[in-house]
Amino acid sequence: MAEQNIQHQIDVLNKKLDLILEEIVAQKQSRESMEDLVSDLSVIGKDAFRHTVNQLDKAGIDFDSEALAGVLLKAARNLGNINELLETFESAHDFIKDVTPIAHQLGLDAINRMAEFERKGYIDFIRELGRAGDNIVSHFSAEDVKDLADNIVSILETVKLITQPEMMRAVNNAITVYGSIEMDKFEEYSLWKAFREMRSPEMKKGMGFMINFLKNLAKQQELQQSLNKNNTHTQKIN
């Protein structure tokens, strides 16, 4: 029994020794491979360096080994910055890859929208607005525009009054009446017939309207003239 245990331990030791020997052999082979690689790289590097020097000499370029060493040292000191720069380039490249389809789709949408605007007539409308603007500029002088600016408040006040519901109804009624009149079928009136028509209720209301309108218009003109005189007097005092 003791002999079997000893033999077992010996077998275990032999296996471990075999593993150690295999590891030593593997390390030796790896070291030899590395030495061969270094030797080959050294030969290749020397050949490449010699070839580079020859090419630079043929090209008439002075090779400064100290400058090259300085560049290599700077590159070694700035490996972190170079790595960040490469990461930035990678991020920019990924961003461009992501944005390109979106930009392409936006371009297609813009083209389709412009085609839709042209189909609906917006482009022609804007073009005609430009032509209308040219006509306005060519027809009116700078003095006309100045007068417009000076009187824009009065113009807007007039537009405001005209667009009141009562005024709009009155204008609409006047247009309706005017449109219903047949210009080529007016009835001829003698002085006597016209005098009799003036006694009708409609004519009386019409004359009353005209008289009141003219009276109020005269009052408004007098009031406006008075305001203008007061403003002129105030400006002279100032």
- The predicted structure's pLDDT at residue 233: 61
Q: Which two tokens stand for residue 175?
A: 């247009």
Output the average pLDDT for the chain: 80
pLDDT confidence of residue 237: 64
Closest residue by Cα to residue 12 from 167, 137, 222, 20: 20
Residue 234 tokens, joined: 């105030």
| Residue that is written with structure tokens 């032509």 in the block | 131
DSSP assignment string, 30-73 = HHHHHHHHHHHHHHHHHHHHHHHHHHHHHTT----HHHHHHHHH
Task: Band the pLDDT of 2: cuts 50, 70, 90.
Answer: low
Percentage helix, strand, coil for the chain under 3-state DSSP, each rounded to 5: 90, 0, 10
Mean pLDDT over residues 22-48, rounded? 80
Residue-level pLDDT at 45:
75
* pLDDT for 206: 80
pTM over 0.75: no
What is the percent of the chain where pLDDT is above 90?
Answer: 1
Q: Is 52 exposed, middle or buried (0-12, 13-18, 19+ CB in 10 A)?
A: exposed
Question: What's the pLDDT tens digit per position in 65-123?
Answer: 677 677 778 877 887 888 888 889 888 888 888 888 888 899 899 999 988 988 888 88
Model confidence at 61, in pLDDT bands (50, 70, 90)?
low
